[in-house]
Amino acid sequence: DLHNISDIPKPRYVRVNTLKVDADSAYFELKKNYEVRKDDVVPDLFILPPGTDLHKHPYVINGSLIMQGKASSMVAVALAPEPGWEVLDACAAPGNKTIHLAALMKGKGRVIACELDEKRFERLKETVRLAGACNVQPMQGDFLALNPEDPSFSKVRAILLDPSCSGSGTAVDRLDHLLPSHGTGGSATAGEMSRLRKLAAFQKKVLEHAFSFPAVERIVYSTCSIKQTENEDVIKCVWPIAESYGFELATALPTWSRRGLPVIDGSEHLLRTDLVEDKEGFFIALFVRKGNHRVSIS
């Protein structure tokens, strides 16, 4: 009987920072002391038994292993940036996805990592330093204030958009009341609704801004929220704008079976992880622009 979400045994996931160590070496190192398996969806992600404490492991301390959950590790994989690309991480701190992008790009090309909050920006820089992600260029500022026509962004081919959200898919202390109808996010109080609406308005704004970068071909949008308001509803609302810029929804991680709630056309392209089954509730949408479709904003 499930009374408490925090009681669900949660496997410990660690991602190998391939900028520092190759996955096989890390695997054999962990194998010496732990029961370890490779994840079948995310490359370079290992699964250890619930409760495994790796905080003091030398590989964690030196940035060779990153304590990052499975759902969170799916986001950069869904974006699939290639070595040599220019990529923008729009809401970057603390930077786990930033350094994952850098690793997928094998340290080649450039990741511009934008973060608004001053304190969180310091954490972002520390994450990047520890990971040895030399191709990351952290910048403090408001993503919404970046001018897409600025020449410094003219080669940006992909944007990772992981904006502030309710955190309703991960914040353990806030989860329990959601259990009876966790699939759609449970019922919300009036205060909660107004907070969700504000978050959703922000999420739509950042997505629309991302569409306007001239050379962008791929955009991944993610939240650690289980609320339809912040997920499918956001996609539905920005859909006409996405289309006007030539974007389509593409299937994020096609082998994953849990898809978006069937409340919008194309929900089969969207990806969800389940609060109970997957121990975390995440949402991922992938937009792709084919060919050289460029729309100038007049």
**Which residues of this protein are in contact with ligand SAM, per CB under 6 A?**
72, 91-97, 114-117, 120, 142-144, 162-164
Annotated ligand binding at 58? The verdict is: no
The least distance separating ligand SAM from the CB of residue 238, rounded to whole angstroms, comes to 16
* Residue 131 is assigned to a ligand binding site: no
Query: With b meaning 16 or more CB within 10 Å and e meaning fewer, what string describes 72-91?
Result: bbbbbbbbebeeebbbbbbb
Residue 196, amino acid: L
Nearest approach, Cβ of residue 100 and ligand SAM (Å):
8
**CB-hemisphere CA count at 13 Å for 64?**
16
Question: Rounded to whole angstroms, how far apart are CA atoms 228 and 202?
Answer: 15
Among residues 286, 287, 256, the alpha carbon closest in space to that of 273 is found at: 256
Nearer to ligand SAM, 36 or 220 (CB): 220
Question: In sequence order, what are the residues at sequence separation of 6 or more whose Cβ sits closer than 8 angstroms to the Cβ of residue 257?
Answer: none
Contact at 8 Å (CB) between 112 and 177?
Answer: no
224 in catalytic set: yes
**Residue with Cβ nearer ligand SAM (36 or 92):** 92
Catalytic residue among 114, 134, 224, 237: 224
**To the nearest whole angstrom, how small is the minimum distance from the Cβ of residue 208 to ligand SAM?**
13
Is 40 among the annotated ligand-binding positions? no
Is 262 marked as a binding-site residue? no
Measure the CA–CA gap between 208 and 174, rounded to whole angstroms. 29
**Angle between helices 232-244 and 190-211 in degrees, nearest 10:** 20
Question: Which residue minimizes CB distance to ligand SAM?
Answer: 91
Closer residue to ligand SAM (CB): 116 or 261: 116
CB of 223 to ligand SAM, least distance (A): 8
96 is in an annotated binding site: yes
Q: Which residues are catalytic?
A: 224
For the annotated binding site for S-adenosyl-L-methionine, the residues are: 91-97, 115, 142, 162
For the annotated binding site, the residues are: 91-97, 115, 142, 162
